[in-house]
Amino acid sequence: MTKEQFILSTIRPMAEYTFPFLSSIVGIQEPKVGEQEPKVGEHVGTGLRAMVNGRRAVLTAEHVIREALKYPSGFALSAGYGRKPFIVSGNVGLDSVRDLAIYYLPADFPYDRPGIGFWPEDRIQRTTERIDTDYLFVHGFPASRSRFLHLVEGLASRSLPYGAMQRLDVPDLQAHEFAVEFDPKGIRPADGPKGESVVDPHGLSGSPVWRIGISGRSRNEWSPELSLLVGCVTQWSPERGILIATSSTSFKELIGRH
């Protein structure tokens, strides 16, 4: 197996392993005046369910929450495939400088539903070690793969698992940011042909970024359990063909204030 073949072979197991930790951020649309239809959910961005300071939380980008708050009826979080989203109430911690947000889930969130997981806190990387030498994996819900359904019926979304290396030649990034190669025209989705038209990054904001854990190890040692969370997607720069992410090293400042 070549190096490229091995890297491609990690996408599916990483997708299956990380999917239970993903959450769709859903804006709630009211029915039009005179219509009797129930409220409809519209995908705004992606979040990660994780353990933070011993508490269950959702981490995402600050601008995703800011966009979700524009909906007059508020917003919700997906709570498992095809299930009614969980309507958010209470405070959301925001960091506009680093474009991060955290929401601590209340006791009535359906934690016990099948397929719901929380990323372990001890696997959130606190340094930038090996990000530039490991293979990076992004997993989220593009808006083009989300169907807007009545909230009583749930929200159906197909995720986009994506792997690439860090882009090092980006001179204008902030100290807390790093870039990931991302050219939609050259992407070969795990569940479709290369260049599939649905590969549109809108809605990927807030998606978690992992390094898969192969750096410094042999192929025979690798498994998804070696992966570490290293960041959160905050921007797409189509002219440069990159996604920009805030490093997980910034999570400490956000968590410390909320």
Please write down the HEC assignment for all residues of 165-218. CEECCCCCCCCCEEEEECCHHHCCCCCCCCCCCCCCCCCCCCCEEEECCCCCCC
Residue 74 C-alpha from the chain's centroid: 20
- Residue 227 tokens read as 């992966």
Q: Give the tens place of pLDDT for each residue, 125-135.
A: 999 999 999 99
Which tokens hold the place of 235? Answer: 């921007």
Domain of 40 in residue numbering reads as 3-257
CATH number of the CATH domain containing 241:
2.40.10.120
pLDDT of residue 198: 41
- Identify each DSSP E strand in the chain by its residue range: 22-29, 40-52, 55-60, 75-77, 86-87, 93-95, 100-104, 136-140, 146-147, 156-157, 160-164, 166-167, 177-181, 208-211, 228-237, 242-247
pLDDT: which is higher, 111 or 164: 164
Q: How many domains does the chain have?
A: 1
What is the structure's pLDDT at 91? Answer: 92
